[in-house]
Structure 1
Amino acid sequence: MVMKVYSPEFKADAVALYLSDPSHTFEGIGKDLGISRETLRNWVRAERARHDGGSTTSTSTEKSTVDSPPTAQELQAENEALRRELATARKEVQKLATERDILRKATKFFRTRDDLVTNRFQFIEDHHHAWGVKRLCAVLEVARSSFYKWRAGREARAARERADVALAERIRAVHAEWDGTYGRPRITAELRDEGERVNHKRVGRVMRKFGIAGLRLRKRQVTTVPEPSATPVPDLLRRDFTANTPNTKHVGDITYLPVGDGDFLYPATVIDCFSRRLVGWSIANHMRTELVADALRSATRVRGSLAGAVFHSDHGTQYSSCQFAELCAQLGVRQSMGAVGTSADNALAESFNAALKRETLRGARRYDGARACRLAVFRWATRYNTRRRHSANGQQAPNAYEQQSATLTLAA
């Protein structure tokens, strides 16, 4: 059934979606979200009243008002403001140009794998006459006090470097004497027997610094260790993604949405196999178990209860974790998983993810940013349930299909 009581989060997202594009109308957004235009209008008015001091008699998108022509004093004040903004912008451009030149010259200092902080300090030391220590420290994001402390310790560092070179020669001699088999503990013992007062930590540091290592036969490293409490989860669907009644069989998955310059958001879903309705979902910038747990809790709030229902997923670590298994047991949900490495065993969820990306990105490679991505997913997910036609439902939207099914059941 269509939700009649809306959460504060839903209202906030609906208002943000309407205000995100001047071309949006109350009628269009209201249809997409399954709410009346007057309800959305009241939400927007309330939001603007909170921010602007309470004037809700008119909005820029409802009516356009004709202002009186500006006076000469107003034009002069506006020109002065524009001049100040231009001067500020020029200063900012000059500042950015200087920072660009600094970073260009600093590039070669960061090409090696040496200590980046030391490289920054050395660059500041070499170029502080041209740009000043304060500007260089700000651009390279280091504290001036740290730079001056580094500068004051140059002689001590040089002395330590000479001592490390001398110690490395003695370590190489011991290492070669024992055919390269000795490591840090035995080399330290040898040096101490020869009268060298040296700490094993320093020996290890010098060995790493100069690439000296003892003989080690590595054992095969096991990186995947199943939890002792984990039990096999059967496949209760067997690729049958149909259901005779709502709230009996669900599928879910996690996908990725590229945003900005290299970042991602990850939505997790819970889809009812009866009507293909998105009954629960969550989105975050991580893929921890909390992501899929929030989606399942969201489905529980929408349905009222998931007791006795099946939830089918792949073998992702989030779904196979003990934490998620405990949540399913708490909610009375029966877990189901397909075979490892077989996407067809969760084809319904895979198809949903493909449609989500295809219809929100519309050929673009990335979303403009995290906020734009969240609003696009919010609008699409809501419209998916309320308006988007689905072939499995006889070209009806999931909500309409469920309502029709409930009507037919009551009539029978």
Structure 2
Amino acid sequence: MLFRDMPCDAAIVRPDRPSERSCSISFALIFRTIGLLLPPCALYTRREERKRGGPRPHHEWPRRLRTRPQPAGPRTRDRWTPVKRIFSRVLKLSRQPYYRWLADPVTPNEVVEAYRANALFDAHKDDPEFGHRLLADEARDVGEPMADRTAWRITSSNGWWSVFGKKRAKNGKNPGPPAHDDLCAVVDEHGRTRHVFAATRANELWLVDITEHGTAEGKLYCCAIKDAFSRRIVGYSIDSRMKSRLAVQALENAVQMRGDVVGCVVHSDRGSQFRSRKFLRALAGHDMVGSMGRVGSSGDNAAMESFFSLLQKNVLDRGSWITREQLRIAIVTWIERTYHRRRRQARLGRLTPIEFEAIMTKDVALAA
């Protein structure tokens, strides 16, 4: 006899204890309610269970209980399995946000932040000395506007710090490899590495470097390119910010002035401006070859350092400068009037760079 078929008053009650009758009737109501919720095969007496030798197997259930009713609509592979229930309890996740994420894993805000992070990363690789405010300015220029606080959050979460804005402990690691090989280095008979800055013709070897000087308005940066053949400054660029475009603009000015520069070697130090992707693309666009010295060795670009030493003594340190424009005019005037046309050099046969190039170009034209 099944519990679901048992009447409410059919419970076994001792007649000598009438007080237990009400409790027995209550239990009968509870079991009857359970019987209405569970299938008939799930409730039977222990006597029948002992006769059968155990619970009723699944294959003997009625057919309507073997198959689970299928939900209407398209069937999906993902279901809220018991394993997912356990993980949701451990991770303290609810069901609705999980399926909301499953339907749309990448939100529009995450896509916008990814584009902003790409713009900040490109600017950081081109100019590693920039802080988050300057990186935000660069991102706005390429079409990714954002607040300075947003730029700080993205850069700090990804660890994109300025090279001098955050102190780092020395870890004993060597700096990374240069962007180019050192094509000016030679080994003498004593096994020592030296640098030879000599060329047999114009546009064969160029030397490039950047210098800076302070004014009342702030610092002014000058990137100059020197031809090792005639020691002439073939291109330069002056700006208030030391960015990669400072070096790129100096290179473009030199190319426009000299013309045929295919195969020319451009030697520099390991400054971030000369290792930037913009400068490397400019070299490749003009079919020029890059060369780079060692880390922390000013002698690897000694010929260019000597020019900046002259500029420092003759212009920069001659007095205090109020505005950047005043210092810029002084630098351009000294290069074009004094250095190119009035200052004679012993290695050029006591000639100025302009005179030396005019004589050598005429000799080459006559020889041809």
Per the normalisation by structure 2, the TM-score is 0.48
Higher normalized contact order (CA 8 Å, seq sep 6+, divided by chain length): 1
Larger CA Rg, structure 1 vs 2: 2
